[in-house]
Amino acid sequence: VAAVKLANPGAEVTRSQAALAVNISAARGLQDVLRTSLGPKGALKMLVSGTGDIKLTKDGNILLHEMQIQHPTVSVIAKVAASQDHITGDGTTSNVLIIGELLKQANLYISEGLHPRIIIKALEVLEEIKVEKEMKREIPLDVIICCFHTLLLQSVVDAVLAIRRSCYPIDLFMVEIVEMRYKSETDTHMKKQVQDAFILICDVSLEYEKKEVSSGFFYKTAEEKEKLVKVSGTLSEKEKKKEISFCIFHNQSEGDTCNFRLTLACGGLAINSFEDLNEDGLGHAGLVFEYSLGEEKFTFIEDCVNPHSVTLLVKGPNKHTLIQIKDTIRDGLCAVKNAIEDGSVVPGAGAVEVALAEALINYKHSVQGRARLGVQAFADVLAQNSGYDLQETLIKIQTQHAESKELVGIDVNTGEPMVAAEAEVWDNYCVKKHLFHSCTVIATNILLVDEIMRAGMSSPKD
């Protein structure tokens, strides 16, 4: 400390127990904010911006992005939790809660010689709990029921299964979400549609361009003029019917992305010229129609054969509802993607946390010396975050788990224990694995901090 003060007299230094207390207090503060938002019965938070805009949400990722965080330790935890959402699309709130509880439990044992690095060994237990599953349509449905339980379930699963291609990673950017507000709808009976349409996808300007070569018709009498006009009109009509009778020209101004998605949806090739045009380069759709919403016009392409790019249409009465639906759809898409790519799932409803807690307690007996305290701390964290705060409910679950040796979770509707696998309640394996790993690493690093120094360069304002 003396060396730091000598180099920078304005430095602020917090050491040892004071540094630990500052870090743990900050982590617990963020935990208290997000605690009530966990799970399907979680409460909503109202965020009010500086301009008075109001947003209602319980999504941990949105809360962490919208809140103004200044404390350095809280900022680190928020970034780790945000990375969890970026990688797996879920587990943000659980990440913050487990880090906070782990620091709280570690603080109880820190005076007895806790070394936090020992708890990293608990990750090996998760490999024994995952359940290999063939990813039929029903399994992703059961997984995203944990995210939301609405009529969107089947649409979200079908969208991911549609864009899934063997030997290729699932690209969720191939699922486009289009939003429409009810108030902007116009007369829906005025539709322009084509059935059994062949679609030409081109990156060519279809606007009239003035030719550089000058040409003209020359005639001597009015009769010759009428003949030339008639012949010219006949030739133009033949060419027009020849093309439009089996093609719909589609020209997008948004760049190559729309053309690429369109080729995946209805087949065909995106061409750059009409010189070698043939039927092999055309896509096909059972129905194409135009839909007017306010001043905007949308073209819908339906009944495609084996599409690899789809669109989810979201309608709502106001902007707030549309934003909530879009956030929910995004979480559901990520859940289905994770289930398919993992090829395995883990029991949900807190069953994994309860099983890990017992496994760590049993593992503690094989650990020698003070390291047992680290394993016990992690077990306490998992038990307290198994989905219910009521101590009586946790005792029931742990008792039934010990007696039946089944992975027992919590029925959020009744608060009673249930076998998660029999109830078809599943969670993503990669979400849980990344959750426990990131929580352990960040909590370990925070516990190893013995000094907090504010000794950077001062700004001109200071």
Count of beta carbons in the 10 Å neighbourhood of residue 164: 18
What's the whole-number mean pLDDT along residues 180-202?
A: 68
Q: CA 223 from chain center: how many Å? A: 71
Instruction: Say whether pLDDT at 5 is over 70.
Output: no
Count of beta carbons in the 10 Å neighbourhood of residue 153: 18
Nearest to 360 by CA among 386, 380, 345: 380
Tokens standing for 255? Answer: 């760049």
Residue 159 — φ and ψ, nearest 5°?
Answer: -65, -45
Return the pLDDT at 246: 45
Tokens standing for 171? Answer: 């690209």
User: How does pLDDT run across 362-416, given as a tens digit for each residue?
Assistant: 766 765 554 554 444 444 555 555 444 556 777 777 788 778 878 887 776 776 7
Residue extents of the structural domains in the chain: 2-133+345-454, 154-210+219-342
Tokens 């729309």 belong to residue: 258
Average pLDDT over the chain, rounded to an integer: 73
Q: How many angstroms separate the CA atoms of 221 and 238, rounded?
A: 26
Residue that wins the pLDDT comparison between 338 and 251: 338
User: How does pLDDT run across 299-308, given as a tens digit for each residue?
Assistant: 888 888 888 8
What's the whole-number mean pLDDT along residues 38-46?
A: 78
Burial class (CB in 10 A: 0-12, 13-18, 19+), 366: exposed
The residue ranges of DSSP E strands in 327-454, in sequence order, are: 344-347, 408-410, 417-419, 426-428, 451-454
Return the pLDDT at 115: 56
Tokens standing for 430? Answer: 């990669």
Instruction: Say whether pLDDT at 130 is over 70.
Output: no
Q: How many angstroms separate the CA atoms of 177 and 310, rounded?
A: 9
Q: How many angstroms separate the CA atoms of 252 and 203, rounded?
A: 8
User: How does pLDDT run across 217-273, given as a tens digit for each residue?
Assistant: 677 788 877 887 777 767 666 655 554 444 444 444 444 567 778 888 888 887 877
Confidence of residue 119 (pLDDT cuts 50, 70, 90): very low
Left, alpha or beta for 407 (phi > 0: left; psi -120 to 50: alpha)?
Answer: beta
154-210+219-342 has the same fold as 2-133+345-454: no
What's the whole-number mean pLDDT along residues 172-177?
A: 82
**Contact (Cβ atoms closer than 8 angstroms) between residue 161 and residue 337:** no
**Contact (Cβ atoms closer than 8 angstroms) between residue 440 and residue 120:** yes
What is the reported pTM?
0.68
User: How does pLDDT run across 345-358, given as a tens digit for each residue?
Assistant: 888 777 777 777 77
- The mean-pLDDT minimum among 10-14, 23-27, 59-63 falls in 10-14
Tokens 């809280």 belong to residue: 74
Q: How many angstroms separate the CA atoms of 193 and 171, rounded?
A: 30
**Domain 154-210+219-342, architecture per CATH:** 3-Layer(bba) Sandwich (3.50)
CATH of domain 2-133+345-454: 1.10.560.10
* pLDDT over 70, % of the chain: 66
Tokens 């539709």 belong to residue: 191
Taking the CA of residue 323 as centre, how many other CA atoms within 13 Å lie in the half-sphere pointing to its CB?
10
